[in-house]
Amino acid sequence: MDLLVVGSMAFDDLETPFGKETNVVGGAATYIGYAASYCTDDIGIVSVVGGDFPQEVMDDLNSRGVDTEGVQIKVNEKSFFWSGRYHLDMNSRDTLDTQLNVLATFDPRVPQSYRNAKYLLLGNLTPTVQQQVIEQMTTRPKLVAMDTMNFWMNAMPTELAHTISMVDMLLVNDEEARQLSGEYSLVKAARKIQAMGPKYLVIKKGEHGALLFCQDQLFFAPALPLEEVFDPTGAGDTFAGGMLGYLAKADDLSFDTMKRAIIYGSALASFCVEKFGTARLKALMPSQIEQRLQEFSSLVSY
């Protein structure tokens, strides 16, 4: 298996300055799965859903080479639910409601056929759940990447630090990098975070792009200035999924490949925000992706 993904599969109620939609299928693993499927058709998901999660989404993912054997279905329970409202500045949002439901007791089980996956992406989840997945791998993946968020920095700092020490790559946003390191300068923050374990650090800055710290090398991936950001939900997961999908397909961890991978993730994320939920992300043609990659290239070439 090229890529194993762990993360939520969920429903979101979303409110943006452009409209409101309820019961939108989302969750980190959903976005990551769709994004990575543009690079490889050898992906597995470990997750948990309730009886309410649509079988069509599973079927759709399966048809793209995303295996869902690792998705536990608890028929008498409800899927994870999140509701949020975005402001005009789409970098900030208010959480209106969070219902853990099946995630409250999530005991991840990695199917036998997933345990030799070459690349592992731990979507934002309880750090202990992320650890359990790493521990179930038979062979150490070539790269273990991990997303997390400020919530875990406050709620479980010790467990989080332990999980971070086990991974090769950490993905956080700029505020989270500052909180985690206690440093305002992102250059200093990166140095401290890398000293906690991860050789590679990706600092996501939303509409301001992303920084990639590879040992002592630095790369900046711009975000494409967009006419309209319709719904930023899932953009970070799409970015991570595109990046890891690209790396898993290339099966190479050179700095050059890492750079192309982060640009690829940025390109997919730039599509994701154009419609609510996964609508835009799951309807991409290879030629559209190629054209967007060209736009990224000309945006910064001189």
**Least distance from C-beta 234 to its own copies, angstroms?**
20
Per CB under 8 A, which of residues 74..93 are in contact with its own copies? Answer: 88-89
Binder of its own copies out of 74, 78, 118, 260 (CB under 8 A): 260
The tokens describing 63, both together, are: 């048809």
Binder of its own copies out of 95, 98, 116, 185 (CB under 8 A): 185
The DSSP call for residue 72 is E
**Least distance from C-beta 184 to its own copies, angstroms?**
5
Other C-beta atoms within 10 Å of 69: how many? 15
Told to check if 164 binds its own copies by CB under 8 A, we report no
Stretch that binds its own copies, among 108-116, 122-130, 254-262, 278-286 (CB under 8 A): 254-262
SS3 9: coil
Per CB under 8 A, which of residues 191..220 are in contact with its own copies? Answer: 205, 208-209, 211, 218-220
- Of residues 83 and 150, the one with the C-beta less far from its own copies: 150
Cα 147 from Cα 264, distance rounded (Å) = 17
| Unique residue bearing structure tokens 């991974």 | 167
Cα 159 from Cα 156, distance rounded (Å) = 6
Phi and psi based region of residue 251 (left: phi greater than 0; alpha: psi -120 to 50; beta: remaining): left
Residues touching its own copies: how many (CB under 8 A)?
Answer: 27
Phi and psi based region of residue 27 (left: phi greater than 0; alpha: psi -120 to 50; beta: remaining): left
**Sequence-separated (6 or more) residues with CB below 8 Å from residue 243:** 145, 202, 261, 262, 264, 265
Q: Give the x-and-dash track for 88-127 against its own copies (CB under 8 A).
A: xx--------------------------------------
**Least distance from C-beta 87 to its own copies, angstroms?**
10
Q: Which residues bind its own copies (CB under 8 A)?
A: 88-89, 184-188, 205, 208-209, 211, 218-220, 222, 225-229, 256, 259-260, 263, 299-300, 302
